[in-house]
Amino acid sequence: MTKKISDVAQFAGVSVATVRRVLNDKPGISPATRASVLTALDVFGLERPTRLRAENEPGGLVGLVVPDLQNPIFPAMVEALSIGLGKLGLMPVLCTRTADGVSEANYIELLLRRDVAGIVFIGASYADAGPEHGRELREQKIPLVLLNAADENDGIPRVSVDDAAAADQAIAHLTSLGHERIGLILGPAGHVPSARKLGAYVRWQESVGGEQSWRDLVVHANFSMEGGNAAAARLIAEGVTGLVCASDALALGALRAARRHGLTVPGELSVVGFDDSAYMVAVEPPLTTVRQPVRALGAAVIRLLNAQITGHPVTGDEMLFEPELIVRGSTGPRSK
């Protein structure tokens, strides 16, 4: 049993002594800690003490709003958040936009009808909830956190990867390999993370005297392989030798475009992605990419959400997390 209790303590992120205090219903334990321990008991198949079984009902619902599940970074973030919510005794509800017209606003309306403890927007647009639902969320003081938000939302707790730093890392890597004509494939115009990457790219172009020609080397596209393929074809025609892409899906499309144009990667074209999604190490060639710190981002979101749920004040400032360049086989020295 001692081993089981240590497993519960490790899963819940608390000490063995804290687990024993929860089991003995001792005072001085926060609701969040108690919920984490009880959830861990359930995970390991241990029976709750009789006096605590009334707490076995599911906690409040937390909506996880994502724009789609085709981009593998979104399921990774949903998984990280779901684990954190489970430790708090909260139940994640996946809300993803569908092809048949179910939107963020539809999900917000459904969540407001239920015992919603909070909502996390993941790479989505809070504005898409609509002004009426946005007003209702504020009036009901629903805890909100935005993760890599698609638009600017001052005053709402936000957690983001540093997109400008990601672009800086990718560009610095390519320039260190001798690349000078570097193209940039971004998401749709108005997408804030893409705009931040563009800002870093423009600053680099200005620093090397390319401010007059950079517009021909930037293409906006949908976040998909098809979008990356079409964008890369345009930039290959412009004579780029290196590509920085705003997602791994776009980068995979760029690899496809290179093959269709008879270019070798990385011999004649180097490609850098963004996210470090699952299986990027298994593509051919393995993709050089800028990794998002998914676990750290998720943990920060959970802390901000739980603080609001438990009545603690949080600021509307944005928390920025540093990405990490992962060098693999899709980048190499510029061919002479």
For the chain, the residue count is 336
| 325: Cβ contacts below 8 Å, ≥ 6 apart | 169, 170, 173, 288, 289, 290, 291
Q: What percent of the chain has pLDDT over 70?
A: 88
Number of domains in the chain: 3
| Strands 270-275, 218-220: pairing kind | unpaired
Secondary element (H or E) of residue 94: strand 91-96
185 and 169 belong to one structural domain: yes
Among the residue ranges 50-59, 194-203, 274-283, the one predicted with the least confidence is: 50-59
**49: domain range?**
2-56
Decide if 270 contacts 251 (C-beta within 8 A). Answer: no
Q: Give, rounded to a whole angstrom, the gap between the first and last alpha carbons of the chain.
A: 67
Q: Does a structural domain hold residue 326?
A: no
In this structure, the answer to whether residues 274 and 186 fall within a common structural domain is yes
Mean pLDDT, residues 194-218 taken together: 92
210, 287: one domain:
yes
Round to whole Å and give the CA distance between 233 and 254.
8
Q: What is the mean pLDDT of the chain?
A: 88
Q: Which residue is it, tokens 């003995």?
A: 24
Q: Return the SS3 of 63.
A: strand
Q: Which amino acid is at 197?
A: K
Same domain, 40 and 65: no
For residue 185, the cross-strand partners are 219, 245
**Is residue 196 situated within a structural domain?**
yes
For residue 218, name the pLDDT band (cuts at 50, 70, 90).
very high
Domain CATH number, residue 275: 3.40.50.2300
Asked whether residue 19 carries a pLDDT value surpassing 80, the answer given is yes
Question: Residues 22-45: what's their mean pLDDT?
Answer: 77
Q: What is the pTM of this model?
A: 0.80
- Among 38, 56, 74, the domain-final residue is 56
Please state, in angstroms and rounded to a whole number, the distance separating the CA atoms of residues 194 and 188. 8
Task: Look at residue 140 and tell me if it is in a domain.
Answer: yes
CA–CA gap between residue 149 and residue 264 (Å, rounded): 35
pLDDT in tens, 80-113: 999 999 888 888 888 887 656 667 777 777 777 7
Residue 143 resides in a domain: yes
Other beta carbons less than 10 A from residue 60's beta carbon:
16
Instruction: Report yes or no on 328 lying in a domain.
Output: no
In three-state secondary structure terms, 68 is coil
Write out the H or E segment, with its range, that includes residue 204: helix 192-207
Q: CB of 8 within 8 A of CB of 42? A: no
214, part of any domain:
yes
Same domain, 76 and 147: yes
In this model, does residue 60 exceed pLDDT 60?
yes
Asked if the structure places residue 333 within a domain, the reply is: no
Amino acid at 170: A
Q: State yes or no: pLDDT of 310 exceeds 80.
A: yes
Quote the tokens at residue 79: 């998984």
**Percentage of the chain lying above the pLDDT 90 cut:** 58
Please provide residue 31's backbone torsions phi and psi, each rounded to the nearest 5 degrees: -55, -40
Residue 269 and residue 148 in one domain: no
Q: Are 117 and 111 contacting, i.e. CB atoms less than 8 angstroms apart? A: no
- Based on the domain organization, do 288 and 302 belong to the same domain? no
Q: pLDDT band at 43, cuts 50/70/90?
A: low
Q: 125-134, 190-199, 222-231: which range is least confident on average?
A: 125-134
73 within domain boundaries = yes
